[in-house]
Amino acid sequence: MLRYEVTLEVEPGLAAALETWMRRTHIPDMVATACFLRIRFDRASETRYRTCYHAATAADLNRYLAEHATEMRNQFARRFPSGVTISRETWEELDSWE
């Protein structure tokens, strides 16, 4: 399993709008791509968020990146043209314990 993680550092005045938009628009749009098994949205502080997109295979993640990522990123940039710093990482799950 792979996790595509996007971390957002947001200016305080944008935090509520970002959280609402992520829940009501962006994450449902990401679910609709059918590239991910699970999506988790986390908050570390009032201005720091992380979204974890769980892909079953590298092919699923690559399909997202090739077919959907540009438009999703453009939508985000149109909604939040400034005030948000974004970092992205891909993690491969090596093992897990329950």
Q: Which CATH architecture has domain 2-92?
A: 2-Layer Sandwich (3.30)
Any idea where the domains of the chain sit in the sequence? Answer: 2-92
- Report the predicted TM-score, pTM, of the whole model to 2 decimal places: 0.92
Q: Work out the pLDDT band at 25, boundaries 50, 70, 90.
A: very high
Contact 5, 53 (CB under 8 A): yes
Percent above pLDDT 90 for the chain: 97
Segment 50-87, tens digit of pLDDT: 999 999 999 999 999 999 999 999 999 999 999 999 99
Q: Work out the pLDDT band at 36, boundaries 50, 70, 90.
A: very high
Strand partners, 3: 54, 91
User: At 84, is the secondary structure helix, strand, or coil?
Assistant: strand
List Cβ neighbours of 35 (8 Å cut-off, separation of 6 or more): 53, 55, 60, 61, 63, 64, 68
Give the residue from 20, 23, 3, 22 showing the smallest Cα distance to 64. Answer: 3
